[in-house]
Amino acid sequence: MAYPLRQLTGNDIPERLREIPDAPQKLFVRGNMPDPSMKFLAVVGSRKASEYGKAVCEELIEGLAGLPIVIVSGLAFGIDAAAHKAALHSGLTTIAVPGSGLDDSVIHPASHVSLAHQIMKQGGALLSEFEPTFAATPWSFPKRNRIMAGLCDATLVVEAGLPSGSLITARLALDYNRDVLAVPGSIFSPQSGGTNDLLRRGATLIEKSSHIADALGFTVETKRQRNFGHLSVNEQLIVALLESPRSRDEVAEGVPLSTAEVNTLLSMLELKNIITEREGLIRLL
């Protein structure tokens, strides 16, 4: 294996996991486990995620850039992959908990081996209680869901149908006295039946990144101070305006600067990896 594997037992297992009733007796790790003082957020959702679900997942996670938050997901297709990729793009540490062992020969799905390597390359980790060459089975996925729920301070369900594995993770999070967060979806979308039901039952409504930050004990002011205190006054004007994604014209209209000045500042902010522009909208990373 390109990245060494080690086994954790006893007090080396993260404290959050040691607290749960069905705590694992051992864990296998590849890569670097993050500082346990950071906040850990499980992000789960449909394997057959809609474009809406994937876009929301990317938007919410990219809005957490700069905060000491670890994104934990299951390396699966759909929302899991979108969560890992958004974390990598935003400079956040991410942990993958597949429903298999951690040897490259069995990582599930096989097409995400390269994503797993990218996670480790950027300082994250792969985590599993299964033996290194254990191949995924139908029962191994619900079993690994408790690892994600137990490891994290909160679980965010982005898009999930009724029933779904994501709802198992949410139920486990509740059993472990962790917060459950959910993104609302269309009443006409089968992928949103589970998330809307969670909201009906009292899950925390998430519509923007700041809602997640609040749930984890951070504030918008904390994020702005961490990320943007070194920027010029004019750059900070633009950053403040981009708490919500806007077009270039909307940015130009919202600050007392010429269009040429705005375009120059936007280019500088993009070079500094503060903003990105996609599909005609500029947003914070």
Helix then strand count (H, E) for the chain reads 12, 11
pLDDT at 227: 57
Phi, psi of 73 (to 5 degrees): -150, -175
pLDDT at 154: 98
CATH class of 5-215: alpha beta
How many whole angstroms separate alpha carbon 211 and alpha carbon 205?
8
Total residue length of the chain: 285
pLDDT at 220: 52
Query: Comparing 5-215 with 229-284, is the CATH topology the same?
Result: no
250-284 confidence digits (pLDDT tens): 999 988 889 999 999 999 888 877 888 877 888 87
**pLDDT tens per residue, the chain (285 residues)?**
578 899 999 999 999 999 999 999 999 999 999 999 999 999 999 999 999 999 999 999 988 988 899 999 999 999 999 999 999 988 899 999 999 999 999 999 999 999 999 999 999 999 999 999 999 999 999 999 999 999 999 999 999 998 888 999 999 999 999 999 999 999 998 889 999 999 999 999 999 999 999 999 986 555 544 456 677 888 888 888 887 788 899 999 988 889 999 999 999 888 877 888 877 888 877
The ranges assigned to domains in the chain are 5-215, 229-284
- Which tokens belong to 51? 């474009």
Contacts for 154 with CB less than 8 Å, ≥ 6 apart: 39, 41, 42, 173, 178, 179, 180, 181, 212, 215, 216
126-141 confidence digits (pLDDT tens): 999 999 999 999 999 9
How many whole angstroms separate alpha carbon 53 and alpha carbon 254?
29
The CATH architecture assigned to 229-284 reads Orthogonal Bundle (1.10)
- Which tokens belong to 178? 């962790």
pLDDT at 101: 97
